């Protein structure tokens, strides 16, 4: 560890100290405290703090969770028309399709799905394969469309979480000049993605219902055997990374990865493994720590972009205020006002626009990040990695082995 830190150039997203805690260290510490205190919850002095987390995290969302979503819009759409046109699918087509989905749900919410022949056929087909036919059972078209959106959100969120952790690791491999071959990077990525697969399996193993506010949506009914198989894949990936990546680099160079590279890696396993799951931590704090992990990247990009511009501190302050305000408006103020004005809860038993806004932003956020964190991009190379103009870079998925043990690795997509 000391050798890795000595080799580091001193690069950081914020500071070396803060990066460790923001990228995963704080979540590990909080998890250790909560898992230790779990057995003492019969005491009011302990349990009240667990109970207060629902309100606490709802307020913290204003300055952590919501800004993490909205700053991605700023990073993408402020790049100009040419950038938006070059990535038209993620930045134009996807939001248009989502708007169309929710417009259809609003316009035809009460239509019974039994009246729709394609839905009846899909239900019969799913049932024949043992898949949960409740997914398309309705009973209303609005229920069906929102259930589809929720399952799409769960699918994209898992991919996004794991790729973000991979990006954290690869950025710090670059900062620390920690040598990784193309095969080692690929192994690390797929080991992390196996955690996403496992979590998706466990979310859909029972075929039961989950709730968001007043709306309930059905999960898949995956075979019970999928659970141990997915866990075995996660365990194998973890062991392989320890042996074929961390230990292999140590044998070659005498260096272990820095704490900044290990923290997000360890945190993801703690966040999502069933064996490490603590209820309040999993449902309330994991989204918070994921958002906290994202913000240093946005900070680095915006801070580097503002340097040298007139009134940079004022510009930065206005960006922070704008992102926080935009998050509050997009997630709470505007959709709640529309639900109240149009009486959606009285009509359908759910807060339509609050739910739709949450789904829209969560799903679209995945597609936006797929665009803005491509490290072959010139701005990302310059502002995030600190590379000079014209310095060699490689595209995502085509990472070359470093020519010497202490050369700086190129970072693939977060």
Integer Cα distance of 208 and 205 in angstroms: 8
The structure tokens listed for 294 are 């994202």
Long-range CB pairs of 384-387, under 8 A, 24+ apart, other chains included: 384/171, 384/297, 384/300, 384/301, 384/304, 385/171, 385/174, 385/411, 386/11
Q: Return the pLDDT at 290.
A: 97
Integer Cα distance of 394 and 396 in angstroms: 7
209: helix, coil or strand?
A: strand
The answer to whether the beta carbons of residues 49 and 33 sit under 8 Å apart is no
Integer Cα distance of 341 and 157 in angstroms: 31
Where along the chain do its domains lie? 2-53+61-383
pLDDT of the chain, 414 residues: tens digit per residue: 444 444 445 689 999 999 999 999 999 999 999 999 999 999 999 999 999 999 999 999 999 999 999 999 999 999 999 999 999 999 999 999 999 999 999 999 998 877 776 766 666 665 555 455 556 666 788 888 998 899 899 889 989 999 999 999 999 999 999 999 999 999 999 999 999 999 988 888 876 777 787 777 777 777 888 899 999 999 999 999 999 999 999 999 999 999 999 999 999 999 999 999 999 999 999 999 999 999 999 999 999 999 889 999 999 999 999 999 999 999 999 999 999 999 999 999 999 999 999 999 999 999 999 999 988 888 888 888 876 544 443 333 222 333 333 333 333 333
Q: Return the pLDDT at 328.
A: 97
């Amino acid at each position: 560890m000391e050798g890795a830190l000595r080799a580091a150039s001193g690069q950081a997203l914020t500071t070396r100290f803060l990066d460790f805690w923001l990228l995963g260290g704080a979540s590990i510490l909080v998890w250790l405290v909560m898992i230790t205190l779990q057995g003492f919850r019969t005491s009011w002095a302990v349990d009240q703090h667990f109970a207060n987390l629902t309100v606490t995290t709802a307020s913290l969302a204003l300055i952590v969770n919501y800004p993490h979503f909205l700053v991605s819009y700023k990073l993408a759409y402020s790049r100009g028309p040419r950038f938006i046109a070059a990535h038209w699918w993620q930045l134009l087509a996807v939001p248009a399709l989502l708007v169309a989905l929710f417009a259809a749900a609003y316009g035809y919410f009460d239509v019974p799905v039994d009246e729709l022949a394609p839905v009846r056929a899909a239900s019969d087909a799913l049932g024949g394969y043992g898949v949960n036919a409740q997914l398309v059972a309705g009973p209303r078209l609005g229920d069906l469309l929102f259930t589809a959106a929720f399952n799409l959100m769960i699918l994209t969120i898992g991919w996004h979480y794991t790729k973000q952790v991979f990006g954290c690791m690869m950025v710090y491999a670059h900062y620390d000049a920690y040598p990784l071959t193309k095969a080692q990077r690929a192994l690390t990525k797929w080991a992390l993605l196996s955690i996403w697969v496992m979590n998706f399996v466990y979310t859909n193993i029972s075929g039961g219902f989950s709730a968001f506010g007043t709306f309930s949506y059905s999960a898949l009914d995956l075979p019970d055997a999928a659970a141990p198989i997915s866990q075995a894949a996660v365990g194998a990936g973890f062991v392989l990374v320890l042996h074929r990546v961390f230990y292999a680099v140590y044998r070659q160079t005498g260096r272990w990865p820095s704490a900044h590279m290990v923290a997000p890696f360890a945190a993801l396993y703690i966040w999502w493994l069933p064996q490490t799951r603590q209820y309040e931590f999993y449902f309330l704090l994991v989204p918070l720590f994921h958002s906290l992990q994202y913000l240093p990247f946005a900070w680095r990009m915006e801070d580097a972009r503002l340097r040298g511009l007139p009134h940079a501190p004022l510009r930065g302050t206005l960006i922070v205020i704008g992102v926080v305000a935009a998050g509050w408006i997009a997630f709470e103020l505007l959709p709640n006002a529309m639900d109240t004005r149009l009486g959606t809860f009285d009509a359908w038993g759910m807060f339509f626009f609050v739910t739709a806004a949450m789904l829209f932003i969560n799903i679209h956020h995945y597609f936006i990040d797929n665009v803005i964190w491509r490290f072959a991009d010139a701005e990302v190379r310059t502002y995030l990695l600190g590379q000079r103009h014209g310095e060699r870079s490689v595209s995502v998925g085509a990472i070359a082995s470093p020519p010497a043990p202490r050369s700086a690795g190129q970072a693939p997509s977060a």
